[in-house]
Structure 1
Amino acid sequence: MINFCTLFDSNYLTRGLALYESLQKVCPSFHLYVIAFDNKCFQFLKESNFSNLTPISLNEFEDEELLKIKPARPGAEYCWTCTPSVVLYCIRQFNLPFCIYVDADMLFYQNPQIILDELGDKSILLTEHRYTKEYDQCKESGIYCVQFLYFKNNTEGITALTWWRDRCLEWCYARSEDGKFGDQKYLDDWLERFKGVHIMQHEGGGVAPWNVQQFKCTTKNGTIYLTNRKSNIEFPLVFFHFHGLKFFANDVVSYSGTLYELDKEVKEVVFLPYVEALLELERKVKKQGVQFNVNGSKHPSPSSPKIYSTYLKERLMQYKTGRISFRQLMRLKLNKHYHFHKLTSNGKFD
Structure 2
Amino acid sequence: EVCTAVKGPFLHQVCEAGGADIAIYLDPDTALFAPLDPLVAMLQRDDILLTPHLIDPNEDPAAILDNDLSASRTGIFNLGFVAIRTTGEGARFARWWNDRLLAFCYDDIPNGLFVDQRWCDHVPALFDRVKVIRDPGYNVASWNLSKRKVAITRQGEILVNGATLRFWHFTKLGPTGDVMTKRYAGDNFEVYEIWRWYKEAVAAATDPAIPERWWAYGQFDDGAAISKPQRVLYRERADLQTAFPDPFAGGYQAWWKAEGPGRRG
What TM-score do the two structures reach when normalised by structure 2? 0.69
The answer to whether the aligner puts 1:256 opposite 2:177 as a matched pair is yes
Partners of 2:136 and 2:148 within 8 A in 1: no
SS at the partner of 2:160?
Answer: strand
Greater Cα offset, 215-224 or 264-273: 264-273
Alignment match, 2:172? 244
The answer to whether the aligner puts 1:123 opposite 2:47 as a matched pair is yes
The answer to whether the aligner puts 1:293 opposite 2:217 as a matched pair is no
Q: Point out where structure 2 has 5 or more consecutive residues left out of the alignment.
A: 215-265
CA distance in 2, matches of 1:163, 1:205: 25
Partners of 1:115 and 1:200 within 8 A in 2: no
Matches within 5 A, 1:155-304: 155-220=88-153, 221-227=155-161, 234-246=162-174, 254=175, 256=177, 258-260=179-181, 261=183, 262-264=185-187, 265-282=189-206, 292-293=209-210, 296=212
- Return the offset for 1:297: 6.0
- Return the offset for 1:259: 4.1
Matches within 5 A, 1:90-169: 90-93=14-17, 95-130=19-54, 133=58, 134=63, 135-136=67-68, 137-169=70-102
CA distance in 1, matches of 2:208, 2:167: 30
Between structure 1 and structure 2, the one with the greater Rg is 2
Which has a greater percent of strand? 1
Q: Percent identity over the alignment? A: 24
SS at the partner of 1:274?
Answer: helix
Partners of 1:110 and 1:238 within 8 A in 2: yes
Superposed CA deviations along residues 27-68 of structure 1, whole A, max 9, x for unmatched, are xxxxxxxxxxxxxxxxxxxxxxxxxxxxxxxxxxxxxxxxxx
CA distance in 2, matches of 1:244, 1:269: 17
Cα 1:82/1:117, change in 2 over 3 Å: same
Cα 1:266/1:95, change in 2 over 3 Å: same
Cα 1:156/1:100, change in 2 over 3 Å: same
Cα 1:266/1:293, change in 2 over 3 Å: farther
Partners of 1:119 and 1:198 within 8 A in 2: no
| Aligned-residue CA RMSD (Å) | 2.3
- Return the offset for 1:257: 5.0
Partners of 2:77 and 2:117 within 8 A in 1: yes
Partners of 2:150 and 2:191 within 8 A in 1: no
- Return the offset for 1:99: 0.7
Cα 1:121/1:275, change in 2 over 3 Å: same
Partners of 2:15 and 2:91 within 8 A in 1: no
- Return the offset for 1:281: 3.2
Q: Point out where structure 1 has 5 or more consecutive residues left out of the alignment.
A: 1-76, 228-233, 247-253, 283-289, 299-350
Alignment match, 1:328? none
Cα 1:297/1:240, change in 2 over 3 Å: same
SS at the partner of 1:107?
Answer: strand
Cα 1:291/1:180, change in 2 over 3 Å: closer
Partners of 1:255 and 1:271 within 8 A in 2: no
Superposed CA deviations along residues 205-233 of structure 1, whole A, max 9, x for unmatched, are 01101102212222111111122xxxxxx
SS at the partner of 2:137?
Answer: coil
- Return the offset for 1:255: 7.2
- Return the offset for 1:167: 1.4
CA distance in 2, matches of 1:217, 1:121: 29
SS at the partner of 1:205?
Answer: coil
- List structure 1 runs of 4+ shifted beyond 3 angstroms: none
CA distance in 1, matches of 2:53, 2:202: 25
Alignment match, 2:263? none
| Matched AA of 1:236 | T
The answer to whether the aligner puts 1:86 opposite 2:10 as a matched pair is yes
Superposed CA deviations along residues 97-141 of structure 1, whole A, max 9, x for unmatched, are 221111000011110112332344211111111176322122211
Cα 1:207/1:162, change in 2 over 3 Å: same
Alignment match, 1:285? none
Superposed CA deviations along residues 318-345 of structure 1, whole A, max 9, x for unmatched, are xxxxxxxxxxxxxxxxxxxxxxxxxxxx
| Matched AA of 2:201 | A
Partners of 1:118 and 1:200 within 8 A in 2: no
CA distance in 2, matches of 1:292, 1:90: 32
